[in-house]
Amino acid sequence: MNKKLIDLQHITKSFDGQMILDDLNLYIRENEFLTLLGPSGCGKTTTLRILGGFETPDQGHVIFDDQDITKLPPNKRQLNTVFQKYALFTHMTIAENIAFGLKIKNKSKSYINDKIAYALKLVNLEGYGSRMPDSLSGGQQQRIAIARAIVNEPKVLLLDEPLGALDLKLRQDMQYELIRLKNELGITFIYVTHDQEEALTMSDTIVVMNQGYIQQIGSPEKIYNEPENAFVADFIGDSNIIGGTMIEDKLVEILSARFPCVDTGFGTNRPVDVVIRPEDVILSSPANGRLTGTVTHLIFKGVHYEMEVTTPDGYEWLVHSTGMYPVGTQVGIDVDPFNIQIMHKPASEDEEAVKIDE
């Protein structure tokens, strides 16, 4: 494991009396690709701005390389930011944009020229040096913004939804390009997005946030397969989230049918939330299922069929399957034990954001 590079300790921030970040604790290891993921307004940009030095937390400390940098101005921090809307200097050429940070640091002319050439090559925009930012497409401007940041050889690159404004194809290309850059340069990436697919594709670690609280921290696989609460399960991918009862270790009752599972330690006869991914629902003939239901919707999605199966109690199961069952068919429903994910119920039903104790 690499050493901790950044440590956010008990960060609290409010604007106009409204709490935006509440006792946020998070560390980032060297060379990690860490993604802050969450719905709009959950405080991702605010967290990034605190890291960059554009905002001071009301309480708490930002530790960088074992030093407290909470009050250090942005120009003295060893990290660089790629802003959501590029923020290029429109009065300078592309080359001058890239050279900005190096000129401030009084690097030699030949060093700067080498760096410009290197950076333009890295982002596949060789020959664009003398153009003005306005004459470039959105994707090209974004790549220049990245080039402008990395020539300074920061220890950490902060990226705030850098691909948000791009179309799907370009976004995917850029995702690969960023991963390549990260591997090539060996710098730590802190990435902000509200696109869960992007987060799953690119990250080593995902931090799921909601309303200023961290909901879960983990690898993409862990976040997807073992969401810790209903919010994470719902936010990451499609899922069936059903209220159930933990009868005993390794046995859960959902919609009055009992399913064997692998989770233990929830106690006996405790109310829980059960997450079952749509691709993990096994459809068969009614006689073979633990539950029976009727197919009420059917959509062909290319790789698989998406079906909605309604059980007699009215719950609508979302099912992804390569097998097709026409609307109106009676089917049996089963789930393999290891595909059943049990979660604690949140303290209060209507409170979506639950504080997770680590």
Partner 1 sequence: MNNFRKKLPGTPYFFWSVLFIIIPLCMVFYYGLTDKSGAFTLENIIAIATREHSKALWLSLLLSLIATVICLLLSYPLAMILCSRKGGQHSVIVFIFILPMWMNFLLRTLAWQTLLEKTGVINSILSFLHLPALNIINTPQAIVLGMVYNFLPFMVLPIYNALAKIDENVINAARDLGANPAQVFFKVTLPLTVPGIISGITMVFIPALTTFVISNLLGGSKVLLIGNVVEQEFTQASNWHLGSGLSIVLMLFILLNMIVSAIFDKDGEGSVL
Ligand X SMILES: Nc1ncnc2c1ncn2[C@@H]1O[C@H](COP(=O)(O)OP(=O)(O)OP(=O)(O)O)[C@@H](O)[C@H]1O
The residues of the shown chain that bind partner 1, judged by CB under 8 A, are 52-54, 73-75, 80-81, 83-85, 87-91, 100-101, 104-105, 145, 148-149, 152
Phi, psi of 319 (to 5 degrees): -130, 130
Residue 75 contacts which entry, ligand X, Mg ion, partner 1, none (Cβ below 5-8 A, type-dependent): partner 1
CB of 46 to Mg ion, least distance (A): 8
What is the arrangement of strands in the sheet containing 79-82, beginning at the earlier edge strand? 79-82, 156-160, 188-193, 33-37, 205-210, 213-218
Number of H helices, E strands in the chain: 8, 20
Q: Of 339, 358, 355, 344, which is closest to residue 266 (Cα–Cα)?
A: 344
CB of 54 to partner 1, least distance (A): 5
Look-up of token digits 């069936």: 240
C-alpha distance from residue 136 to each of 90, 128, 130, 132, 209 (Å): 11, 9, 11, 7, 34
Cα 150 from Cα 118, distance rounded (Å): 10
Assess 81 for contact with Mg ion (CB under 5 A). no
Assess 141 for contact with Mg ion (CB under 5 A). no
Q: Of the candidates 13, 43, 45, 210, which one interacts with Mg ion according to CB under 5 A?
A: 45
Q: Of the candidates 26, 37, 46, 278, which one interacts with ligand X according to CB under 6 A?
A: 46
In three-state secondary structure terms, 62 is strand
CB of 42 to ligand X, least distance (A): 4
Assess 193 for contact with Mg ion (CB under 5 A). no
Q: Of the candidates 15, 54, 89, 338, which one interacts with ligand X according to CB under 6 A?
A: 15
Assess 82 for contact with ligand X (CB under 6 A). no
Look-up of token digits 């303290």: 347
CB of 321 to partner 1, least distance (A): 46
Count of residues that bind Mg ion according to CB under 5 A = 1
Show contacts with ligand X in window 20-39 (CB under 6 A). Answer: 20, 38
Residue 148 contacts which entry, ligand X, Mg ion, partner 1, none (Cβ below 5-8 A, type-dependent): partner 1
Cα 209 from Cα 221, distance rounded (Å): 17
Please report, as ranges, the residues that interact with Mg ion according to CB under 5 A: 45
